[in-house]
A = this chain, B = another copy of it.
Amino acid sequence: MSAKRILIVGGVAGGASAAARARRLSEEARIIVFERGPHVSFANCGLPYHVGGEIPEREELLLQTPASLKARFDLDVRVRTEVLRIDRERRIVTARAEDTGAEYEEAYDELILSPGASPLIPRIPGIERAGHFSVRNVPDADRIMAWIETTGARRAVVAGGGYIGLEMAEQLRHRGLEVSVVEAMPQVMAMLDPEMAAWLHQELRGNGVDLHLNDPVAAFEPPASTETAAASTVVLRSGHRLPADIVILGLGVKPEVELARAAGLEIGERGGIRVNESLQTNDPHIWAVGDAIEVRDFVTGGWSLVPLAGPANRQGRLVADNLLGQPATYAGTLGTGVVRLFGLTAGATGANAKTLARAGMAFETLHLHPSSHAGYYPGAQPIALKVLYAPDSGRLLGVQAVGRDGVDKRLDVFATALKAGMTMDDLADLELAYAPPFGSAKDPVNLAGMAAQNVRRGLVRTAQWDEIARLDPARQLLLDVRSVEEFQSGAIPGSLHIPLPELRARVGEVPSDKEIIVHCQSGQRSYFACRFLNQRGYRTRNLTGSYRTWKSAREG
C-alpha cells in the first residue's frame, strides 16, 4: 500500500468512520481530519436525550477526542479548523485554525468530504434573536440547557415536526416544560403517510403537547407589553400567538455544499454533492459521504437526500475501502428511520405512498394491526402497519409501522426483506423467532405477507380508509362484523352491523345488489366475512386496517 496523503473534511459520523477505516487498511497513510466544530466523532443523535436528562453526562456524547484518535489510530485530527478552499489542480486544501486565525495549506492524494448538513434557518422575522436554537452539536445542547436554566424557561415552542422536533418535544416535556409543536404541513414526520402520522398526533396531544398542524410560523415577535416570554411570541399564519421562553428550530437540514460547489464539483438536482456508485465526485481524487451527498433511493432509483447516521457511517467505511484497494459500491439508501415519541415508536423503511406516487410507480396498500406478541401473553400491543408492494411482481416497496411494542424489530425485518428484494410471498414464509413474550406463531411480518397473498390470488379485494367518506349509499354498503361491545363503543356511521359469528345465519340481511365494504376492528374478521360472502355471490371489499385505521386517520 502506498503512503497516501488522505485529507478528510468533517470529523463526525462519515468522516470519522472513513478515517478510522483508512488507518486499519494502511499504517503508512498520512491521515488528517479537519473539523470545524470543537468535537469529533460525537453522538449527534444523542443530543435531545442529553437536553432531556436521559443522558445525564455530557462526556457520554463525546465518543472520541483528537488525543484518543491519535493514540488509537495515529490520526491527525484538527478541531476548530475550517477548510476554506480546494485547489483541485494542485490537490491542495487551504485550512484556517479558528483559535489562531492562521491559514495554511495541506496537500492531498485523496480528499474525502463529509461536511454534513446544516439546519435550515428560513428568513422568518425574529428567528435570529436570542433563545432560538437549532440542535446540531454539543455546544448547541449546552446553550439550550443553559438558557432553560438561566431564564427558568417554562414554555417551549418547537418549530418543525421531524425527527429532531419530535425528539426535542418529548425531552422538553420530560424536563417539565410546556411544549407546543408547530408544523407547516398537515402532518408531522414526513417519512410517514398521513394516516400513519395521525398516531403521532394523538400521542403528542395525549402527552400534553399543544400541536399546531398546517400552520407555519409567520414571525418570532418580541413579546408584546402584555405578554411575558423569554424568547419570542411565536405568531402562526393562522394568527395564533404562542409565548415562548425557548424556541427549538427543527425545520429540516440542507447539505453543506459551498466548499464543493466553489471547487467546481457537481451538485445534484436535490442540492447535494453528486457522487457515483463508488461515492466519488466528478473529480476522481475527491470523494463525498454522509448528509451532504445525494444518494440513489433503493426503491425508486431516484436521487434523494437522506441525512441519517447509519448510511453516513457505512459510506465513510466504503470510501476508505475504495481509496485503499478494497473496491466496493454503494447500493443506494432505503431511508430506514425510527423515532421514539413518549410511549410510541414510529418508523419507516423503503418508499411511502407519497414517494411512489411521485415516482409514478404502481403500488398496492395494506393496513394491518397485528399484536406485538402472542395475544394470550400479557403486554401485547397492536402494531399499526402500512405495507406497500408492487402489484405485478409482489415485491415489497415500503413499510411504515407505529406502536408501543415490537415496532423497531418489525422495521428491521422489513428493511432486511426490502434489501433482499423479497416479495410478499417471501414474507409469508419467513421463519421468525417465536415464544410468547416475543412474537406469535404467525408474526406480524408473516401476516402482512399472507394478507398480500390473499389479494394477489384474488381471494379478496381491498378498500382504503379514505374511500369511506366518498361511498355512494345507493351502490355501496358498509358492513361491520365486530362484536356488539365493539360496535357500541364507536362505529363508522351508516354501517350495517352483523357480528361475524352471526353472519352465516343472518346473511339474508345483506343486500345482494350492492358492493359490500366489510370492516371489523383490524381487518382479519372482515377478511373472513369477505371470503364467506364472496363464495355466496356477493361483491365485497375488505376495508384494510378496518375501524382502527379509519378512526386514527379521522382523529389524527
Contacts and interface: CB of A to CB of B under 8 A. Distances in A.
Interface of A: 13, 23-28, 43, 45-46, 49, 54-55, 60-61, 63, 68, 71-74, 163, 167, 298, 308-314, 317, 326, 331, 333-340, 345, 347, 349, 374, 376-378, 408-409, 411-413, 415-417, 419-422, 426, 428-439, 441-443, 445-446, 450, 457, 459, 500-502, 504, 527-528, 531-532, 535-536
A412 B429 contact: no
A55 B439 contact: no
A326 B457 contact: yes
Copies in the complex: 2
24 contacts: A24-B459, A28-B535, A45-B434, A55-B376, A72-B501, A74-B504, A163-B435, A298-B431, A310-B431, A310-B443, A310-B446, A313-B441, A314-B429, A337-B435, A338-B434, A338-B435, A340-B438, A345-B438, A412-B412, A412-B413, A415-B432, A416-B422, A417-B420, A420-B422
A417 B502 CA distance: 43
B431 A334 contact: yes
A467 to B, nearest CB: 24
B45 A374 contact: yes
Contacts of A412: 409, 412-413, 432-433, 439, 443, 445
A337 B436 CA distance: 12
Interface centre among A308, A333, A335, A416 (most CB of B within 10 A): A416
Nearest to A427: B416
B347 A377 contact: no
A274 B338 CA distance: 45
B433 A535 contact: no
Given A338-B438, A438-B338, A528-B24, A504 B433 contact: no
B431 A336 contact: yes
A420 B416 contact: yes
Nearest to A505: B71
Contacts of A335: 431
Enumerate the 3 nearest inter-chain pairs by beta-carbon distance, A residue then B residue, closest first: A420-B420, A71-B501, A338-B433
A68 B500 CA distance: 10
A45 B435 contact: yes
A433 B349 contact: yes
Nearest to A414: B416
B416 A446 contact: no
Contacts of A54: 377-378
A430 B457 contact: no
A436 B43 contact: yes
Nearest to A335: B431
Nearest to A45: B436
B432 A340 contact: no
Interface centre among A72, A310, A450, A504 (most CB of B within 10 A): A310
A225 B500 CA distance: 61
Given A72-B501, A412-B409, A412-B433, A61 B311 contact: no
Given A46-B374, A55-B376, A377-B54, A411 B436 contact: no
A167 to B, nearest CB: 8
Contacts of A435: 45, 163, 167, 337-340
A497 B429 CA distance: 50
A430 B436 contact: no
A438 B25 CA distance: 30
Contact of A376 (B61, B298, B312): B61
Given A25-B459, A55-B376, A426 B431 contact: no
A440 to B, nearest CB: 8
Given A55-B378, A374-B46, A376-B55, A430 B411 contact: no
Nearest to A311: B431
Contacts of A442: 310, 313-314
A519 to B, nearest CB: 17
A33 to B, nearest CB: 17
A68 B419 contact: no
A441 B312 contact: yes
B415 A433 contact: yes
B429 A337 contact: no
A528 to B, nearest CB: 7
B504 A71 contact: yes
A528 B420 contact: no
A429 B415 CA distance: 11
A89 B317 CA distance: 66
A531 B349 CA distance: 35
